[in-house]
Structure 1
């Protein structure tokens, strides 16, 4: 059984895969290999023959890719058998037509048409296409495996961060129950709404929802820290409907509270700046920092968790950097707008 028969992603991915950099490169290499082998077997002037045959094979390849690109753009998602039929038919049709047209060219005019030449080219094209599809299927299966692995890791990372979020919020409520029962009741109501959003948002939501989630978390912490916690928001004119990973800003702010505000008797200010830098969303969280102060062990969100999720969602296009200067600790996150990977669906 060929690998592409049992692939769960090739059903809707063959045409798309043919148009990727890997697919186009495979086409170019395959076309040139056919031209080289054909020239060696012909016994004619090698370099002249290689040039003409290469021109013929590459023309076939790129015309076929252009038709496949148009088909992929104009049609909806197709099943595997349909996509396979489209690719095979397109290759064979283009090869058949060009094999006829080339006989009317100034390079090798033939009359009448040499149908043996046409059939030989079609047979070679069919054999090469079958090999190409076989290796493309292996490539797609590898992508499928990687996507499943990334998906599982993403679920694990998300599963870690939500209980952590809940643990810290409950810890705040526990402290408030002893110190300020009225505030604890209000905080509990706020947390109920917050948990509903946090656990129902899936793995992505709008930037506006993430900001609302973060403000809800800060409202709970404000009950506990009171005047020790001051937050300054600076939100530029950006698209608040832009899709971002869920719980991507809130953990940075929680990290700032746990490691920046909690250890300091006098508290301090947290600055949250959200703007854009060209095509990237820029999120900067700054908090006071004293290297000699100790926060609660294990309570801060691990930045490695966030970095790993960013890598899965955006690849190398997203970055998370930290810096420390003049008693202030800054975390700067850059996210490419509109570039969430498909595996990041809810």
Structure 2
């Protein structure tokens, strides 16, 4: 029925001024300096700077391990200070316009470097550690470190800005795919569902009303303008609603077996991951068979994840419905990769008499 793709995380169309503000904060180019990956990146850059400083001396002397150690200690200390200061000040920076936040972050990094250099020089002279060298003045030491910091900080902030621009392009492409694919409906399902409902109105009005509600729920989920994320319980209910409509149409030809009691219904996941799988099971597995068949949906908990298995009979090659271009499966895989990266997967296994799809999603 539907071939949908979710808009990316943080790209939810805002409906209020407050939502717009939240979206702007989420899309601010400044990274979260309170995370380990950002700290690690800054420390790697700092160590590279230390190597350049040591390997490019102003005289012809050969660099020593002591010089490398002193330079590494200095720049790593500065990298940690940068990270702590930017981490603590990020809530304030996010309230500024992007260009103002950039200048504020840049100034904060320069000020931190100058202050740290002054403290380091003062402690070195007071304790006679010999790190800064007897011939070097405080002004020269602070100025030298500040100039190096100005160059490195500009490059680092520019890198974060360009990285965020690239991520925004990825988000824009994902939104465009979502808008183009979210409303794709298989015409045969819509027409058959409406015909089935029309035939039930006079004879079984209660079932007709239930079918209309199930169809409305499916359309609401597919055409939603939100981020399309809901609970596993809601996803299971959507799949059940779809299968109830197909049971009205196919009658005794369609048998459904559910075994999903182990699944956590409160788990949050992207919408319409399961429903397209059960739809494919009916359309490609049960419908082509004269006597119909059984669709099995089995859910289980495994270490660190859940698995949902959808199994349907596999008709002979001469009776199979056209497979199309696999848009539904491709979209499911794409959304799993976007939301869960390598921790989620959709595995397809075509056996002799059965077609099995296994949906694996991380869950702690």
TM-score (norm 2): 0.76
**Of residues 316, 321, 342 in structure 1, which corresponds to 2:342?**
316
1:197-218 alpha-carbon deviations (Å, 9 max, x no partner) = 2333332222111111111111
Matches within 5 A, 1:159-174: 159-160=183-184, 163-164=185-186, 167-174=188-195
* Deviates most, 110-119 or 304-313: 110-119
| In 1: Cα distance, 2:93 partner to 2:108 partner | 18
Seen in structure 2, the aligned counterparts of structure 1 residues 81 and 278 have a Cα distance that, compared at 3 Å, is farther
Q: CA deviation at 1:307?
A: 2.0
* Deviates most, 215-224 or 315-324: 315-324
**What residue in structure 2 maps to residue 108 of structure 1?**
131
Query: What is the CA RMSD across the aligned residues, in angstroms?
Result: 3.4
Seen in structure 2, the aligned counterparts of structure 1 residues 75 and 238 have a Cα distance that, compared at 3 Å, is farther
**Of residues 212, 220, 235 in structure 1, which corresponds to 2:245?**
220
Matches within 5 A, 1:115-194: 115-160=139-184, 163-164=185-186, 167-174=188-195, 182=202, 188-194=208-214
**What residue in structure 1 maps to residue 257 of structure 2?**
232
**What residue in structure 2 maps to residue 265 of structure 1?**
290
| In 2: Cα distance, 1:137 partner to 1:167 partner | 47
Unaligned runs of 5+ in 1: 1-7, 339-346
Report the 3-state secondary structure (helix = DSSP H, G, I; strand = E; otherwise coil) of the residue aligned with 1:92. helix
Q: CA deviation at 1:245?
A: 1.8
TM-score (norm 1): 0.79
Report the 3-state secondary structure (helix = DSSP H, G, I; strand = E; otherwise coil) of the residue aligned with 2:317. coil
* Deviates most, 132-141 or 302-311: 302-311
- Number of matched residues? 326
CA contact (8 A) 1:150 1:312 kept: no
| In 2: Cα distance, 1:211 partner to 1:77 partner | 39
Report the 3-state secondary structure (helix = DSSP H, G, I; strand = E; otherwise coil) of the residue aligned with 2:56. helix
**What residue in structure 2 maps to residue 343 of structure 1?**
none
1:264-304 alpha-carbon deviations (Å, 9 max, x no partner) = 22222211112332332311101111233524446897422
| In 2: Cα distance, 1:147 partner to 1:23 partner | 25
* Deviates most, 323-332 or 226-235: 323-332
Q: CA deviation at 1:23?
A: 7.3
**What residue in structure 1 maps to residue 44 of structure 2?**
28
Q: CA deviation at 1:71?
A: 4.3
Q: Which has the higher contact order (CA 8 A, sep 6+)?
A: 2
**What residue in structure 2 maps to residue 328 of structure 1?**
354
Q: CA deviation at 1:187?
A: 5.4
CA contact (8 A) 2:197 2:211 kept: no
Report the 3-state secondary structure (helix = DSSP H, G, I; strand = E; otherwise coil) of the residue aligned with 1:205. strand
**What residue in structure 2 maps to residue 197 of structure 1?**
217
